[in-house]
Amino acid sequence: MIRILRAWMILVAASAASVFLAMGVPSAIWLGAALIGLALLKARVILSDYLDLYRAPRVRAGIMLGFVIWALVLCALLAAG
Protein backbone atom coordinates (compact mmCIF):
# COMPACT_ATOMS: atom_id res chain seq x y z
CA MET A 1 0.00 0.00 0.00
CA ILE A 2 2.83 2.39 0.81
CA ARG A 3 4.35 1.78 -2.63
CA ILE A 4 1.13 2.74 -4.41
CA LEU A 5 0.70 5.83 -2.23
CA ARG A 6 4.25 6.96 -2.97
CA ALA A 7 3.69 6.36 -6.69
CA TRP A 8 0.44 8.32 -6.58
CA MET A 9 2.16 11.26 -4.86
CA ILE A 10 4.94 11.25 -7.47
CA LEU A 11 2.38 11.18 -10.28
CA VAL A 12 0.41 14.06 -8.76
CA ALA A 13 3.59 16.11 -8.29
CA ALA A 14 4.80 15.39 -11.83
CA SER A 15 1.38 16.26 -13.26
CA ALA A 16 1.32 19.51 -11.30
CA ALA A 17 4.82 20.31 -12.54
CA SER A 18 3.69 19.62 -16.11
CA VAL A 19 0.78 22.01 -15.76
CA PHE A 20 2.99 24.65 -14.14
CA LEU A 21 5.58 24.36 -16.92
CA ALA A 22 2.97 24.37 -19.67
CA MET A 23 1.63 27.68 -18.38
CA GLY A 24 5.09 29.21 -18.82
CA VAL A 25 6.86 30.55 -21.89
CA PRO A 26 5.29 28.73 -24.87
CA SER A 27 8.21 29.17 -27.28
CA ALA A 28 11.06 27.90 -25.13
CA ILE A 29 12.66 24.77 -26.57
CA TRP A 30 13.69 23.51 -23.13
CA LEU A 31 10.03 23.52 -22.11
CA GLY A 32 9.17 20.72 -24.53
CA ALA A 33 12.14 18.67 -23.39
CA ALA A 34 11.15 19.19 -19.74
CA LEU A 35 7.60 18.06 -20.43
CA ILE A 36 8.86 14.99 -22.27
CA GLY A 37 11.17 14.23 -19.34
CA LEU A 38 8.26 14.46 -16.91
CA ALA A 39 6.27 12.11 -19.15
CA LEU A 40 9.14 9.61 -19.00
CA LEU A 41 9.20 9.88 -15.21
CA LYS A 42 5.47 9.21 -15.04
CA ALA A 43 5.81 6.26 -17.41
CA ARG A 44 8.50 4.71 -15.23
CA VAL A 45 6.43 5.14 -12.07
CA ILE A 46 3.39 3.58 -13.72
CA LEU A 47 5.40 0.66 -15.08
CA SER A 48 7.18 0.03 -11.80
CA ASP A 49 4.49 0.52 -9.22
CA TYR A 50 1.10 0.14 -10.87
CA LEU A 51 2.05 -2.69 -13.24
CA ASP A 52 4.46 -4.24 -10.68
CA LEU A 53 7.30 -4.43 -13.18
CA TYR A 54 9.81 -3.69 -10.41
CA ARG A 55 9.73 -7.48 -10.10
CA ALA A 56 10.81 -7.85 -13.75
CA PRO A 57 13.55 -5.23 -14.25
CA ARG A 58 14.55 -6.49 -17.71
CA VAL A 59 11.02 -6.17 -19.05
CA ARG A 60 10.69 -2.71 -17.50
CA ALA A 61 14.04 -1.67 -18.98
CA GLY A 62 13.02 -2.90 -22.43
CA ILE A 63 9.75 -0.99 -22.34
CA MET A 64 11.50 2.12 -21.02
CA LEU A 65 14.06 1.84 -23.82
CA GLY A 66 11.23 2.10 -26.33
CA PHE A 67 9.84 5.12 -24.49
CA VAL A 68 13.26 6.80 -24.35
CA ILE A 69 13.82 6.26 -28.07
CA TRP A 70 10.40 7.75 -28.78
CA ALA A 71 11.20 10.70 -26.48
CA LEU A 72 14.49 11.30 -28.32
CA VAL A 73 12.64 11.32 -31.63
CA LEU A 74 10.18 13.84 -30.20
CA CYS A 75 13.03 16.02 -28.89
CA ALA A 76 14.73 15.91 -32.30
CA LEU A 77 11.50 16.96 -34.00
CA LEU A 78 11.08 19.70 -31.43
CA ALA A 79 14.60 20.97 -32.09
CA ALA A 80 14.11 20.77 -35.86
CA GLY A 81 10.92 22.80 -35.68
Does pLDDT of 72 surpass 90? yes
Does pLDDT of 64 surpass 80? yes
* Residue with the larger pLDDT of the pair 13 and 21: 13
Contact by Cβ (8 Å): 63, 47: yes
Does pLDDT of 25 surpass 90? no
State the average pLDDT for the chain: 91
* Domain ranges for the chain: 2-80
The backbone region for 65, taken as left when phi is positive above 0, alpha when psi lies in -120 to 50, beta otherwise, is alpha
Contact by Cβ (8 Å): 21, 15: no
